[in-house]
């Protein structure tokens, strides 16, 4: 055989062993290198293709067996191995995933630790627990009221179809009466223009009561309430004037000389909105808030905290901190870190008596003496009867004498475009009647242990969400800074009786409009309660809607 020829067996032995093995993507370049280098080194006749490929034709096999001389391959035709690219830096995904996992676990541990070991407002003082234990241990009427304190319960409600008084609200009121003792309670409920279904439900409710009570359903005359003539000629009813009158109608038995309780010396007055609440919590609000060494409460007023959802505090319109600032973002701890921030600090300290200038929270307990027509409680009253706080027709505010505000009743601001909650002004009047060192303690407290809601679902969640609420304090503080809370109030620091130069809107009945005029007014209690706006209703007080009117431009 010629020297240039190679037998089939020898050709097979020259095949790279690696080419016979299965290939993968990583082998691709190296396989090509092996074939190329050996082919060009030994000549194309060096390989028996019958061993490396199936299905070759007879002519192909014949040609492959011919002795073909080895020819040098020009350099530009030779296979050039490409340089191996440098390794690409891989992302450190596993490391980042581990960090994210550890951070999540740390956050989860923090949540569990707070909820289990330092929950917010979940461990009330012992006397709260003692009252609850007494309430649940027996069914004896008055078991939550060991001192037999006399309580006047008032409510003004809107119950279109009777579902409120026939539902959980009515059941809770009856349970509260039983806890306090029917002989110790007088219940007064007022409803304006109740429909037939509501009247039927109220009648059925009264049949189940075993305490003295009055339920009044009437059409409320709004003609004597303050109206404001707008620049466009519209005549609007001040909403707060309407609400104040409605609330005062529930207190009417205290003024009625024919009332069976006209001369009763009540210890407490509890005003209840249309909220869902725990009757034992209501009893604790009345009888456990800020107790002294003798076991008796020491407050002018004590408010619950109300929530519109499991996290959001609701009644910001009526609540002011100890310095008169309005609320921060309505997440725990609710108040802003401004001034001395005493109210915020009291909340963070988990106090049951958080010092404030005013509050409401859906349910509020008052020291009843401020509401009674009694010269013993109000010896400076001459005569012992409060003066009318109905607005004067000329829109001009009257001087603020101390006795004008006792006995305390709900009222509205008289300036057309300055409005404040009647639930805030009532606290301002109480403080003004017996002023003390209001910068340290007003004896008006918000009690975060007592929580109410506006639906049963939200109330059921409050026991859970309160355990975690400490976590929101840093976020709430940042949100206050971003949102510039609290807002500015030009009358916040006015003192009652102080003469103030002001520019106010004066309505003109003859022209059917009004104008701004410079006036000198006498500051009344509650400048810290208000803001420049008009909350208005249709002229007749009905219609199911109301407006928040900005002041007209001062031209």
Mind listing the pLDDT tens digit for each residue in 210-264?
999 999 998 889 999 998 888 888 888 999 999 999 999 999 999 998 888 888 9
Domain ranges of the chain: 8-77, 126-549
Task: Give yes or no for residue 6 having a pLDDT over 70.
Answer: no
pLDDT over 50 (residue 429)? yes
Q: What are the tens digits of pLDDT across the range 405-422? A: 789 999 999 988 899 999
- Does 74 have pLDDT greater than 80? no
* Cα 64 to Cα 12: distance, rounded to the nearest angstrom: 13
Q: What is the DSSP string of 435-462?
A: ---TTT--SEEEEEEEEEESSHHHHHHH
Predicted local distance difference test score (pLDDT) of residue 399 = 44
The reported pLDDT for the residue numbered 524 is: 94
The pLDDT of residue 5 is 45
**What are 300-340's pLDDT values in tens digits?**
999 999 999 999 999 999 999 999 999 999 999 999 999 99
**Predicted pLDDT of residue 382:** 36
Q: What is the pTM of this model?
A: 0.77
Higher pLDDT: 65 or 408? It is 408
Contact 132, 284 (CB under 8 A): yes
Q: What is the pLDDT confidence band of residue 36, given thresholds at 50, 70 and 90?
A: very low
Whether residue 394 is predicted with pLDDT greater than 70 in this model: the reply is: no
Task: For 206-258, give the secondary structure using H, E and C.
Answer: HHCCCCEEEEEEECCCCCCCCEEECCCCCEEEEHHHHHHHHHHHHCHHHCCCC
For residues 42 and 38, what is the distance between their CA atoms, to the nearest angstrom? 6
């Amino acid at each position: 055989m010629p020297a240039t020829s190679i037998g089939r067996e020898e050709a097979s032995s020259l095949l790279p062993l690696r080419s016979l093995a299965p290939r993968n993507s990583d082998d691709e370049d190296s396989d090509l290198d092996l074939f190329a280098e050996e082919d060009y080194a030994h000549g194309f006749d060096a390989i028996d293709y019958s061993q490396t490929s199936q299905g070759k034709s007879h002519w192909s096999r014949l040609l492959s067996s011919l002795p073909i001389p080895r020819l040098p391959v020009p350099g530009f035709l030779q296979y050039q191995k490409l340089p191996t690219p440098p390794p690409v830096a891989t992302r450190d995904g596993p490391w980042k995933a581990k960090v994210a996992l550890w951070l999540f676990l740390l956050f989860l541990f923090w949540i569990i630790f707070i909820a289990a070991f330092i929950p917010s407002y979940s461990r009330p003082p012992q006397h709260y627990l003692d009252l609850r234990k007494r309430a649940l241990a027996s069914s004896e009427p008055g078991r939550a009221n060991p001192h037999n304190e006399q309580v006047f319960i008032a409510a003004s409600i809107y119950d279109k179809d009777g579902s409120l008084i026939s539902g959980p609200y009515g059941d809770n009121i009856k349970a509260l009466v039983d806890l306090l003792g029917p002989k110790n309670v007088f219940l007064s409920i007022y409803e304006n223009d109740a429909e037939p279904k509501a009247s039927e439900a109220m009648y059925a409710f009264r049949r189940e009561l075993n305490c003295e009570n009055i339920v009044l359903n009437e059409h409320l005359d709004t003609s004597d309430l303050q109206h404001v003539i707008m620049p466009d000629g519209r005549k609007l009813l001040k909403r707060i004037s309407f609400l104040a009158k409605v609330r005062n109608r529930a207190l009417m038995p205290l003024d009625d000389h024919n009332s069976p309780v006209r001369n009763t010396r009540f210890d407490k007055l509890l005003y209840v909105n249309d909220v869902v609440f725990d009757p034992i919590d209501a009893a604790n609000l009345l009888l456990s808030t800020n107790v002294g060494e003798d076991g008796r409460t020491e407050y002018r007023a004590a408010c619950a905290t109300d929530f519109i959802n499991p996290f959001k505090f609701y009644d910001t319109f009526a609540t002011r901190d100890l310095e008169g600032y309005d609320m921060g973002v309505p997440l725990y701890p609710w108040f802003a870190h401004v001034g001395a921030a005493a109210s915020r600090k009291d909340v963070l300290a988990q106090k049951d008596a958080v010092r404030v200038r005013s509050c409401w929270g859906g349910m509020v307990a008052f020291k009843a003496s401020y509401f009674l027509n009694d010269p013993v409680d109000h010896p400076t009253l001459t005569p012992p009867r409060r003066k009318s706080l109905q607005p004067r027709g000329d829109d001009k505010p009257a001087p603020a004498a101390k006795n004008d505000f006792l006995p305390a009743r709900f009222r509205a601001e008289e300036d057309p475009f300055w409005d404040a909650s009647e639930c805030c002004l009532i606290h301002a009047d109480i403080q003004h009647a017996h002023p003390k060192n209001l910068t340290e303690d007003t004896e008006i407290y918000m009690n975060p242990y007592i929580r109410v809601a506006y639906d049963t679902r939200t109330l059921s969640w409050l026991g859970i969400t309160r355990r975690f609420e400490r976590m929101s304090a840093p976020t709430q503080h940042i949100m206050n800074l971003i949102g510039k809370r609290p807002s500015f109030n030009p009358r916040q620091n006015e003192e009652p009786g102080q003469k103030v130069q002001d520019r106010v809107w004066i309505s003109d009945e003859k022209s059917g409009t009004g104008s701004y005029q410079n006036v000198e007014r006498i500051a009344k209690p509650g400048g810290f309660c208000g803001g420049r706006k008009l909350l208005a209703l249709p002229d007749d007080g009905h219609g199911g809607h109301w407006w928040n009117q900005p002041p007209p431009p001062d031209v």
